[in-house]
Amino acid sequence: MSMTDLLNAEDIKKAVGAFSATDSFDHKKFFQMVGLKKKSVDDVKKVFHILDKDKSGFIEEDELGFILKGFSPDARDLSAKETKMLMAAGDKDGDGKIGVDEFSTLVAES
């Protein structure tokens, strides 16, 4: 399954483009722009599994830095600052990684 099976390719392109500048990433706006906020919990979980590149059941900090590439291969990497901010927003239990339920909550709070 690819991201465009779940989300509109044009929405992804616009969202990735809107945050092309370093340190401009805002996960709340991004999730709204790609249409993730309007998706069912099941679809949000499918997106999580696409982003979980090593299939560990978690999005670790190193994977989080490449989150935009999970939506569009030619997107930029997040800066260290953006990655830390996103981890802080999503890692509710403080274990240093984001699980599927934490990701679902992160999207729902957007």
Binding residues: 52, 54, 56, 58, 63, 91, 93, 95, 97, 102
Binding residues for Ca(2+): 52, 54, 56, 58, 63, 91, 93, 95, 97, 102
**Crossing angle (nearest 10°) for helices 80-90 and 100-108:** 100
CA gap 35, 15 in Å, rounded: 9
